[in-house]
Structure 1
Amino acid sequence: MDFLMSGLAACGACLFTNPLEVVKTRMQLQGELQAPGTYQRHYRNVFHAFITIGKVDGLAALQKGLAPALLYQFLMNGIRLGTYGLAEAGGHLHTAEGTLSQPRSAAAGALAGVMGAYLGSPIYMVKTHLQAQAASEIAVGHQYKHQGMFQALSEIGQKHGLVGLWRGALGGLPRVIIGSSTQLCTFSSTKDFITQWEIFPPQSWKVALVAAMVSGIAVVLAMTPFDVVSTRLYNQPTDARGKGLMYRGMLDALLQTARTEGIFGMYKGIGASYFRLGPHTILSLFFWDRLRTLYYTYTK
């Protein structure tokens, strides 16, 4: 039941935040491996990107990749939050004195995130391809010509086999390890702190909301550089064997991006990441916490 509640909570959040994911993906691919000032900026900021995409690609384009995004969120966060929830409910994250152990919480969050992200990696790759697809006048990054999620998965599988479906999976794991451990550790720690200080009444929805807001800020700051290169690893063109033509892996992508685009290149799309990751983290963790609280309250 923990896995089902976690997956549903993440899908609920994804419905609201997917347009921001589309904007984030395109801003991260804009000016890829080009020095600042040498390329045309189709998207100047988050709000300009929304207007541009809606005007050129149509309003429906703001929900591009929604199907794989929902499926990925259900798989990834169902496993991630469900596993972490079971560890928390089993008392494995607390010391003998009953206080939350930061190292255990961070390790559990990272491990749970790796499991979910690796299994859902093919869906995430297709989501990235679909969200990057745009009209030629505002296109950024490599342009795949997929017609939908199932067609994309089938085409990649036929061309490059099972290995091709998991291209970029290992390179994307640092993003998930850092993001997941930061998110769940800060959420649990903040929630524990608020509860101990009795800032709000016991079981109040405000406890989960404030903890999720703090967690969202921490995640964006820690994860954005790895999110940028992960998007590029998944979206890069490939040769006939399915090998990436631009990057050899996560480290190579980080070095190339930093060398050609500078430190600000590592944080491309951070505004979109904040507006997307912040609300998504808040909504998914809040829904997850509320569903678990209600379930365990009424099944005792």
Structure 2
Amino acid sequence: MTKSDFVLGGVAAMGAVMFTNPIDVVKTRMQLQGELAARGTYVKPYRNLPQAMVQIVRNDGLYALEKGLAPALCYQFLLNSVRLSVYSNALEWGYLQNKDGSISFYRGMFFGALGGCTGTLFASPFYMIKAQQHAQAVQSIAVGFQHKHTSMIDAFLHIYRTNGISGFWRGVIPSMNRTLVASSAQIGTFPKAKALLKDNGWVTHPVLLSFCGGLASGTLVSVANSPFDVVTTRMYNQPLDEKGRGLTYRGLVDCFTKILRTEGLHGMYKGFWPIYLRTAPHTTLIFVFFDKLLYIRDLYVFPQNKN
């Protein structure tokens, strides 16, 4: 794993999240509204993405759309610097190729999952704080449990004083399951989509090829990952007792079971459209930025690597 790939992977993801964080805020709140309530029995302050954004700005100001941006940037840097550098080096060392030189779908999924889970393990505290800050809202549009963090630093201090070091990794198991699905699907399908588009002559321009490949990959990720995303948000945002145990969900299986029992399959796909509208462009932007950063690196930093 090269240092440059590590840094470039993280920077590419930070660039993407600058554009997609407001959608992530809406996604989190839609996943929390009507928590463990039967469909049709609760007030829905967030009905769809445009209406939710207007609702947030009207009640909480424009800045509220960027709540949780600092931990979101830190999370994306740590997660993707590991995830993309693992994938990039596996590709460079020939671990992803079949004997005929084509990219193996299953090997791509494996290294995508390996890198994603490793990155998530390190970055989990930032994801938890991000989710909790995304949920913070004025009373009139508040959903889910409301944590009272005033900043990312304040959140770290509060968690440490309340639950110690172990409190930072509460919910890491469902988060790793979420990333396992997302990373394996995203990185496993991206090169396949690019190869399909390029080999058939449908898309040839490099930037447009990365864009279309990321869009196709992001679509599959959204469908596969939505239930795991909902569970992760619920687990991270739930209130705790004095021993740091969840008051709403005991664990991953308990969370899945309770959502299905009270909210049905619909509950597993709450916030799906914000997930899709965030994941597809986010995936696209990451790979476009990463491709371009690698090109700039090879052109100016390591010109001997340029083909």
Find the partner of 1:49 among 48, 52, 55.
52
For the 8 Å contact 2:178–2:229, the answer to whether it is kept is: yes
Q: Which amino acid aligns with 1:290?
A: K
Specify every segment of 5 or more residues in structure 2 that has no aligned partner in the other structure, as ranges.
none
- Give, in whole Å, the separation in 2 of the partners of 1:70 and 1:221: 24
Deviations 1:246-286 (A, max 9, x none): 11112211111111011111100011111111111111111
Q: Paired residue for 1:252?
A: 254
2:218 corresponds in structure 1 to: 216
2:188 aligned residue: 185
Q: Which residue of 1 aligns with 2:168?
A: 165
What is the Cα deviation at residue 161 of structure 1? 1.0
Amino acid of the residue matched to residue 133 of structure 1?
Q
C-alpha separation between the residues in 1 aligned to 2:25 and 2:208?
A: 30
Cα displacement (A) at 1:7 = 0.7
Decide whether aligned partners of structure 1 residues 253 and 299 sit closer, same or farther in structure 2, where only a CA change above 3 A counts: farther
Runs of 4+ in 1 over 4 A off after TM superposition: none
2:15 equivalent to 1:12: yes
- The answer as to whether partners of 1:146 and 1:152 remain within 8 angstroms in 2 is yes
Secondary structure of 2:164 counterpart: helix
> Which residue of structure 1 lines up, in the alignment, with residue 84 of structure 2?
81
Measured in 2, the distance between the counterparts of 1:7 and 1:26 equals 26
Is the deviation greater in 287-296 or in 209-218?
287-296
Q: Which residue in 1 is equivalent to 2:123?
A: 120
Kindly state the Cα deviation for residue 97 of structure 1 after the two structures are TM-superposed: 2.1
Amino acid at match of 2:241: D
User: How big is the shift at 1:117?
Assistant: 0.8
Task: Say if 1:108 and 1:181, in contact at 8 Å, map to a contact too.
Answer: yes
Q: Cα offset for 1:80?
A: 0.8
Moved more, 265-274 or 246-255: 246-255
TM-fit CA distance, 1:47: 1.1
Report if aligned partners of 2:239, 2:248 keep a CA contact under 8 Å in 1. Answer: yes
The residue aligned with 1:296 is 298
Deviation at 1:198, TM superposition (A): 4.0
Partner letter of residue 129 of structure 1?
A: Q
Q: Is this contact kept in 1: 2:193–2:216, CA < 8 A? A: yes
Letter of the 2:248 counterpart: M
Match of residue 104 from structure 1: 107
How far residue 205 of structure 1 moved from its aligned partner, in angstroms, is 1.7
- Is the contact between residue 174 and residue 228 of structure 2 (CA under 8 Å) also seen in structure 1? no
The two structures, once aligned, show a CA RMSD in angstroms of 1.2
- Structure 1 match to 2:243: 241
Aligned partners of 1:28, 1:289: CA distance in 2, in Å? Answer: 32
- How many residues in Structure 1 have an aligned counterpart in Structure 2? 299
CA contact (8 A) 2:6 2:84 kept: yes
How far apart in 2 are the matches of 1:192 and 1:59? 41
Deviation track 1:207-239 (CA, whole Å, cap 9, x = no partner) reads 211111101111101101110110000000000
> Which has the larger displacement, 150-159 or 20-29?
150-159
Fraction of identical pairs, as percent:
45
Name the aligned partner's letter for residue 183 of structure 2. S
**One-letter amino acid of the structure 1 residue matched with residue 176 of structure 2:** L
Output the TM-score relative to the length of structure 2: 0.94
Structure 1, unmatched stretches of 5+, are none
**Separation in 2 of the partners of 1:154 and 1:28?**
26
CA distance, structure 2, for counterparts of residue 209 and residue 41 of structure 1:
34
| Deviation at residue 43 of structure 1 after TM alignment | 0.8
Which residue does the alignment assign to 1:135?
Answer: 138
| Paired residue secondary structure (1:239) | coil
Equivalent of residue 289 in structure 2, options 278, 287, 291: 287
* Distance of aligned partners of 1:195 and 1:90 in 2 relative to their CA distance in 1, 3 Å threshold: farther
Mapped to 1, the partners of 2:209 and 2:297 lie a distance apart of 17
